[in-house]
């Protein structure tokens, strides 16, 4: 197995394990629920390519505590050359303080081969608030401080005289902050609209991401999803675009709902 295919292979194995194990767990009503998605997309920005993706999102509620794990990856080639290779992992622990307010801790790790960063890591926490928490409409916001670690890639370019200019790789640790808004509304019994916005602030750069999606039930466990994602980097490395967009269609398997 080549190194470039390992991230998606790992996520694929994790998805299979989650689907097999957690579906059974969910049937025992112990609080596990979630989904696994297989997607195909078209990305523009730093790369213009079609790609395939795998993702899982599982959560468990246990009293006032909620535990959530997310893993997703995307891989694509154009004319036999790798043109997309990204994976993302995150873990959250929420502790309800009252009906509306909760505290959370979060860690996330991202690798995207087609940006100016080898990896981006965040560890932090803060407070969240359930603006709406009904059967038809849910809207939750959260924000808090933390530490952001950016692994900046080495950059090779030329100066004004045409001589080689090498900017060495570096690791930048700085104060960071995270903010998230997650909105979901059921248009009817079978169709749901979602809008999710994430902001990850750091000294080196700040990433802002927004995804809108429509999800339609095909059966009790299977859904189809169409989504549009915009990612913006406030300070991309030299030679990289600040905005990426992705249009995706996905087949989603849900359990424990």
Residue by residue, pLDDT tens for the chain (257 residues) are 444 444 444 444 444 444 444 444 444 446 789 999 999 988 777 667 788 899 999 999 999 999 999 999 988 877 777 777 889 999 999 999 999 999 999 999 998 877 777 888 999 999 999 999 999 999 999 999 999 998 876 666 666 666 666 665 678 898 999 999 999 999 999 999 999 999 999 888 899 999 999 999 999 999 999 999 999 999 887 777 888 888 999 999 998 86
Question: CA-CA distance, 101 to 94, in Å (whole number)?
Answer: 10
Question: Looking at residue 251, what is its pLDDT?
Answer: 96
Cβ count near 48 (within 10 Å): 12
Question: CA-CA distance, 107 to 103, in Å (whole number)?
Answer: 14
Contact 250, 39 (CB under 8 A): yes
Contact 25, 33 (CB under 8 A): no
Question: CA-CA distance, 165 to 31, in Å (whole number)?
Answer: 55
Contact 70, 57 (CB under 8 A): yes
Question: CA-CA distance, 47 to 53, in Å (whole number)?
Answer: 15
Helix (H) or strand (E) segment spanning residue 169: none
The end-to-end CA distance of the chain, in Å, is: 36
Question: CA-CA distance, 243 to 229, in Å (whole number)?
Answer: 10
Question: CA-CA distance, 27 to 30, in Å (whole number)?
Answer: 8
Question: CA-CA distance, 39 to 53, in Å (whole number)?
Answer: 5
DSSP string for residues in 56-109: EEEEEEETTEEEEEEEEEEEEEETTEEEEEEEEEEEEEEEE-SSSEEEEEEEEE
Question: CA-CA distance, 60 to 18, in Å (whole number)?
Answer: 13
Question: CA-CA distance, 219 to 216, in Å (whole number)?
Answer: 9
φ, ψ dihedrals at 16, nearest 5°: -60, -40
Question: Looking at residue 11, what is its pLDDT?
Answer: 45
- Put simply, whether the predicted model's pTM sits higher than 0.85 gets the answer no
């Amino acid at each position: 197995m080549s190194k470039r295919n390992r991230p998606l292979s790992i996520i694929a194995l994790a998805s299979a394990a989650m689907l097999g194990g957690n579906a059974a767990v969910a049937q025992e009503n112990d609080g596990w629920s979630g989904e696994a998605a297989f997607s195909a997309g078209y990305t523009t920005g730093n790369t213009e390519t079609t790609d395939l993706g795998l993702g899982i999102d599982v959560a468990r509620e246990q009293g006032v505590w909620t535990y959530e794990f997310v893993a997703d990856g995307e891989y694509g080639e154009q004319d036999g050359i790798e043109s997309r290779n990204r994976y993302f992992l995150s873990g959250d622990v929420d502790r309800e303080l009252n009906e509306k307010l909760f505290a959370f801790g979060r860690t996330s790790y991202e690798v995207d081969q087609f940006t100016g960063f080898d990896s981006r890591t965040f560890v932090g926490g803060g407070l969240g608030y359930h603006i709406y928490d009904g059967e038809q409409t849910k809207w939750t916001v959260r924000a808090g401080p933390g530490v952001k670690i950016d692994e900046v890639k080495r950059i090779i370019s030329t100066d004004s005289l045409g001589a080689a200019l090498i900017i060495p790789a570096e690791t930048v640790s700085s104060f960071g902050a995270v903010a998230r808004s997650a909105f979901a509304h059921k248009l009817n019994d079978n169709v749901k609209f979602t809008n999710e916005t994430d902001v990850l602030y750091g000294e080196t750069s700040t990433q802002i991401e927004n995804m809108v999606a429509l999800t339609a039930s095909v059966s009790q466990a299977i859904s189809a999803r169409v989504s549009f994602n915009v990612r913006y980097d406030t300070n991309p490395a030299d030679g990289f675009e600040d905005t990426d967009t992705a249009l995706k269609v996905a087949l989603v398997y849900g359990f424990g709902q």
